[in-house]
Structure 1
Amino acid sequence: MSNSFAGSTPDSLSPVAQDLTRFNTLGLVSRADAFVTLDVPAQLPALSALARQAPSLLVLGGGSNLVLPERVPGLVARVAFKGVRLLEAGPQAWLVEAAGGENWHGFVSECVAQGWDGLENLALIPGTVGAAPVQNIGAYGVELEERFHSLTAWDVRQARYVEMSAADCRFSYRDSAFKHDEPGRWIIVSVRFSLPRPWRPVLGYPDLQRHERLAGGAPSARDVFDAVCDIRRAKLPDPAVTGNAGSFFKNPIVPADQRDELAARFPGLVSYAQADGRYKLAAGWLIDQCGWKGQALGAAGVHDRQALVLVNRGGATAADIMGLARAVQDAVIERYGVRLEPEPVVV
């Protein structure tokens, strides 16, 4: 290889060139100049040594929240740590730990199977456990920060482990401290979740209230899990079939007076009151009302069942995806005066 930082280390982390097409759910053709897989935390000191020589470091989980260019010139490290364990069965909560490389949906499924309830509303979200706090994922009335206890991260720059609380992570809507620090600074090794006992279902979203599995009676966590999976499969394309990164835009949060003004002009406006008095607007509704659902620009398109999802129609590049994203943003700004912010990380 031509990379000056590609040599082996005492822990035998030897970067290789790697096709990244199968490592991103949008299915964008991309290639890394230097790629390593982290199978065990013991390799982390070697990663820090490599990173000091690399022009940049991209940390890769499930690739479900990334827009990758055709060439990634720096070092790419894929986190593949595995393991799930119950740390404590207290009277108020289950304390469960999962390694950063665990598949998120697989982890949620395991928790439900074990009776560690509380994450079922977050079923079928693509990605890894380690990526979940970065994005502060959420769905159907539950945010990750509500179930988060703490995490262990590796500080690549200082080559040391760091324990982080929720306050350290600075969670907000689809945001965290990890998004604002220098790229490649942190490897999330493991995450701990506090799952409440006794458990109560969270059924505030209309889609859940209407679902036949949850009609009448007292639903179990398994019922909620299955209902969420049904709803997501009906609305969202399977990345294995149609390349996508899930919801491409965040639901914008606006002041109450702006929401009231929009509701007066657009009576069908979909919005949700927030605890701080602001309102979350449904980005998918805004996009749909602008006529973009099912539309395309070249190889990039807006999904025909869920306007929040941008799809690779075959052979799309990062430029194609971002060109479509900008066109959608411009349409929403022109009609509603609201700017949509992309969720994925654009490398």
Structure 2
Amino acid sequence: MLPLSLDQDLSAFNTLGLPSRAGHLLRLDNTVVLPQLAEAVAAYPRTMVLGGGSNVVLAGALPGLTIKVETRGIRLLEQTDQERVVEASAGEVWHDFVAYCLKQGWPGLENLALIPGTVGAAPVQNIGAYGVELDQRFHSLLAWDMQAGKAVEFGAADCQFAYRDSLFKREEPGRWLIVAVRFRLPVNWTPVLTYPDLHKHESLQHTGVTPQQVFDAVSAIRRSKLPDPAVLGNAGSFFKNPLVTAAQFQLLKAGHANLVAYAQPDGSFKLAAGWLIDQAGWKGRRLGAVGVHDRQALVLVNHGGATAEDVLELAEQIKTSVYQRFGVLLEQEPVVFR
């Protein structure tokens, strides 16, 4: 028998701080119950998997089954002269996992410090920051097929990683529950300092930069730009940086000389969504209980009392405004749970 709780408040389980209640909630802290999930999932019209709640917009009522993953455990699986393979349970807090790896002398994830959420949610979103993407450090993951009732191992190709996207984000909710993620970390570590904010950071202007120094610099940069969800409810970056063709970039550049964009290996350009939103006049604006952060236009914030509808309405207005000005359609990052 699964230990289900009825009509549970989820407001503390999402970083936007939105009021939401789960009709049935399973707080999964032990994989022993996994074989029972197939029957349980089949009994509900919809199943949703919740990690740290940092990349979701929760509706007021979730009538199906909500599984909050809280499993713990980190271990070194293997080590060669070239790499270490480290495995973490899905419920581990991502930032704490990165810090733990550094303390063990396993660098490679420090550029991804302070990203909110859990280890299990990281490959769903294919998180990335400051010059490093998760798929560059990914080895494999173990997921539970909740429909078939069996464990399945996924390699990088199986996950179909793309920019802030993966198979798990596109598949129907209620199919896959990520159990553990394995990372390939380099033994012969070199710092990744290509991102402008890191390249010019005062603490990194010397030879012999250490992984801890990169970790500290990334953490300091993020804290200076992004609001703490514990103080001001938010889901981090709400929109993806849009990709455009070289021809589209040239047209935009001709009309907007200060356009912020980054050339990609395939010849396309990644536009800075925050710059587009700022130029459209949204930075610092507020619509009732929700608004755009005054230091980072990519971040939508809950000033108190906001609902999912409030957040999504603001997001739509921003998308419309940016499209009317630049002809670029923004895509939101957080997944909507209804």
Question: Which category of TM-score, normalised to the shorter sequence, fits these structures?
Answer: over 0.9
Pairing 1:190–2:180 present: yes
Count of aligned pairs: 337
How far apart, CA to CA, are the structure 2 residues paired with 1:342 and 1:160? 32
Measured after TM superposition, the shift of residue 197 of structure 1 is 2.3
Measured after TM superposition, the shift of residue 14 of structure 1 is 2.8
Structure 2 residue matching 1:18: 3-state secondary structure = strand
How far apart, CA to CA, are the structure 2 residues paired with 1:22 and 1:34? 16
Structure 1 residue matching 2:92: 3-state secondary structure = coil
> Does the 8 A contact of 1:121 with 1:141 survive in 2?
yes
Map 1:14-25 → 2, pairs under 5 A: 14-25=4-15
Measured after TM superposition, the shift of residue 49 of structure 1 is 1.7
Residue 5 (structure 1) aligns with: none
How far apart, CA to CA, are the structure 1 residues paired with 2:24 and 2:56? 18
Correspondence for 1:301 among 284, 291, 304: 291
Correspondence for 2:148 among 138, 155, 158: 158
Residue 227 (structure 2) aligns with: 237
Pairing 1:60–2:50 present: yes
Structure 1 segments unaligned to the other structure (5+ residues): 1-8
Which amino acid in structure 1 is aligned with residue 303 of structure 2?
R
> Does the 8 A contact of 1:13 with 1:43 survive in 2?
no
Which amino acid in structure 1 is aligned with residue 276 of structure 2?
L
Which amino acid in structure 1 is aligned with residue 306 of structure 2?
A
Which stretch of structure 1 is more off in the superposition, 45-54 or 228-237?
45-54
How far apart, CA to CA, are the structure 2 residues paired with 1:137 and 1:196? 19
Runs of 4 or more, structure 1, over 6 Å off, are none
Map 1:1-347 → 2, pairs under 5 A: 9=1, 12-347=2-337
Structure 2 segments unaligned to the other structure (5+ residues): none
Identity of aligned residues (%): 61
Query: When the two structures are superposed, what TM-score results if normalisation uses the length of structure 2?
Result: 0.98
How far apart, CA to CA, are the structure 2 residues paired with 1:296 and 1:115? 44
How far apart, CA to CA, are the structure 2 residues paired with 1:321 and 1:35? 24
> Does the 8 A contact of 1:29 with 1:317 survive in 2?
yes
Q: Structure 1, residues 111-130: CA drift from partner, whole Å, max 9, x if none?
A: 11111111000000000000
Structure 1 residue matching 2:4: 3-state secondary structure = coil
Which stretch of structure 1 is more off in the superposition, 200-209 or 99-108?
200-209
Measured after TM superposition, the shift of residue 223 of structure 1 is 0.5
Which amino acid in structure 2 is aligned with residue 171 of structure 1?
F
How far apart, CA to CA, are the structure 2 residues paired with 1:322 and 1:126? 21
Which amino acid in structure 2 is aligned with residue 151 of structure 1?
L
Q: Structure 1, residues 198-238: CA drift from partner, whole Å, max 9, x if none?
A: 11111111111121111122211100000000000000000
Measured after TM superposition, the shift of residue 265 of structure 1 is 1.0
Which amino acid in structure 2 is aligned with residue 32 of structure 1?
A
Structure 2 residue matching 1:305: 3-state secondary structure = coil
Query: When the two structures are superposed, what TM-score results if normalisation uses the length of structure 1?
Result: 0.96
Which amino acid in structure 1 is aligned with residue 147 of structure 2?
R
How far apart, CA to CA, are the structure 2 residues paired with 1:14 and 1:250? 35
How far apart, CA to CA, are the structure 2 residues paired with 1:300 and 1:184? 30
Q: Structure 1, residues 261-302: CA drift from partner, whole Å, max 9, x if none?
A: 111111111111111110100000110111100001111100
Aligned-CA RMSD value: 0.8
